[in-house]
């Protein structure tokens, strides 16, 4: 029995690792229906993720309605998968529910602050990523939408999020209609530090990024964007200082509006 169990564990682990090793973000979804019961079941399982003091500081909004998804797509810079995927899941940091519970129980909730925001933000992401791993193991495809942090005020309005609720990220979910090639990653050793943080120097940065920069797909990316280096594609075109500063200011204002920055 022992050895059969061990063999099952091995099979299971290697398959699970493979699902994560082989993952790619999916942006084109098939018409194959995804049972709502499956989404619920996977979410319920994902709610087993660690959560601060077992307070479960999150809510998940499942949007299936076509018109509603189209409406929400505008908040996500009209990325087509938002409306096209059968499900849009918006994972929210939520201290509203706990605060209402405290109010009803003669307890003095004090969660209208930045620390509590980051606690709930963390809780929501741990659930989101657990759901992602589960969904991909079911051969569903997902696309992580960090755009929730760019236009949170629009999502708040469209989903009716009350105070002490904030949209952390969204996920498009459905069966894939594409099997895109996998994007590269930096060498793992570049991201792992032993005992303490090992500061990077110029030579180490050269070593870490040389393979990435040499890839034909990234060289093409530089040519298309008419710049000199891949780093310029990121810093001067895609994720620019002026944009980051504009969205930072907006983000802090929305956090205030939602009651998280007293």
Contact string (CB under 8 A) for a copy of itself, positions 168-207, x = contact: xx-------------xxxx-x-xxxxxxxx-xx-x--xx-
CA–CA dist 142, 85 (Å, integer): 9
Considering only residues 27, 30, 79, 144, which one is a binding residue for a copy of itself as defined by CB under 8 A? Answer: 144
Q: DSSP of 160-190, one letter per residue?
A: T--TTEEEEEEEEEE-BS--PPPPP---GGG
∠ Cα 122 124 126 (to 5°): 70
Angle, CA of 15, 16 and 21, to the nearest 5°: 95
Q: CB under 8 A: which stretch of 27-35, 74-82, 115-123, 172-180 binds a copy of itself?
A: 115-123
> 206-245: which residues touch a copy of itself (CB under 8 A)?
206, 208-209, 228-232, 234-236, 238-242, 244-245
CA distance 176 to 31: 9
Instruction: Enumerate residues 6+ apart whose C-beta is below 8 A from 147.
Output: 75, 76, 77, 79, 170
Q: Which stretch binds a copy of itself (CB under 8 A): 27-35, 58-66, 77-85, 172-180?
A: 58-66
Nearer to a copy of itself, 79 or 190 (CB): 190
Q: How far apart are CA 5 and CA 117, in angstroms?
A: 43
Minimum CB separation from a copy of itself for residue 196, in Å? 5
Min separation Cβ 31 and a copy of itself, Å: 21
Q: Does 38 bind a copy of itself (CB under 8 A)?
A: no
Q: How far apart are CA 89 and CA 216, in angstroms?
A: 34
CB of 50 to a copy of itself, least distance (A): 4
Query: Which residues, 6 or more positions from 124, have their beta carbon under 8 angstroms from its beta carbon?
Result: 57, 58, 91, 92, 93, 94, 168, 169
Give least dist CB 179 to a copy of itself, A.
Answer: 15
- Contact set for a copy of itself, span 85-114 (CB under 8 A): 92, 96-98, 100-102, 104-111, 113-114
**Identified binder of a copy of itself from the candidate list 7, 20, 214, 215, rule CB under 8 A:** 20
């Amino acid at each position: 029995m022992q050895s059969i169990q061990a063999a099952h564990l091995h099979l299971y682990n290697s398959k699970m690792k493979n699902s994560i090793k082989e993952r790619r973000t999916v942006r084109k979804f098939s018409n194959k229906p995804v049972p709502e019961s499956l989404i619920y079941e996977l979410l319920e399982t994902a709610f087993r993720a660690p959560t601060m003091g077992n307070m479960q500081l999150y809510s998940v909004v499942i949007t299936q309605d076509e018109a509603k998804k189209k409406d929400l797509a505008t908040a996500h810079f009209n990325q087509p998968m938002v409306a096209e995927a059968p499900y849009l899941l918006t994972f929210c940091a939520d201290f509203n529910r706990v605060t209402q519970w405290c109010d009803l129980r003669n307890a003095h909730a004090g969660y209208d602050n930045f620390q509590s925001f980051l606690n709930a933000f963390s809780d929501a992401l741990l659930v989101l990523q657990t759901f992602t791993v589960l969904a991909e193991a079911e051969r569903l495809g997902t696309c992580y939408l960090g755009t929730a942090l760019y236009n949170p005020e629009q999502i708040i309005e469209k989903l009716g999020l009350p105070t002490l609720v904030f949209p952390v990220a969204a996920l498009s979910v459905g069966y894939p209609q594409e099997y895109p090639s996998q994007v590269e990653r930096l060498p793992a050793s570049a991201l792992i530090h032993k005992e303490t943080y090992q500061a990077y120097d110029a030579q180490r940065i050269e070593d870490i990024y040389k393979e990435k920069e040499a890839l034909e797909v990234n060289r093409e990316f530089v040519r298309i964007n008419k710049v000199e280096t891949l780093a310029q594609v990121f810093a001067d075109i895609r994720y620019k200082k002026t944009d980051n500063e504009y969205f930072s200011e907006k983000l802090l204002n929305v956090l205030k509006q939602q009651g998280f920055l007293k």
